[in-house]
Structure 1
């Protein structure tokens, strides 16, 4: 039972950390003066998780959550999933930051 709880905590931390990372990249690229928000981090984390699950479904044929949890038994898979989450978070945060920067410039011009 504690092993399952620990796996859940690891997955939750992966989602939260990648969301916070994407939010920081977003704030950096958008040149936004607002401070980071936990809601923005959670939204980024959700999108990162959905993109990663979609990729695992396509390339690794992981079709449901128990298969994902079983895959986390392999330390190499966990490390690759974390790096992929951070990479997807950086890309998502950068793209969102560019759009945020453009929206900020359009609002100031009008």
Structure 2
């Protein structure tokens, strides 16, 4: 059994980066499933994902957990983002939602 050294909220891209350091033959079944999932759904490189999380926390006053959720989902429209954030049970102004969308757009879409 491995001891937990540190607990940290990370994006899918960061999870993928960590799992890529493990040889596939050394992964257990859950690690392989997790790697397959993050390889398919991580939409950014780890550095960009972390920078976007920081910007969402600073500029949009999100909690780090919320910012990571937004980056992992990467909604592409205001309606999709609004539907996603509705579950947080806090009012987010349309201008803040628009700012969030601008932050999560990939460089190719800007």
TM-score, normalization: structure 1?
A: 0.30
Report which structure shows greater RCO (CA 8 Å, sep ≥6): 1
Greater share of helix: 1
Rg comparison, structure with higher value: 1
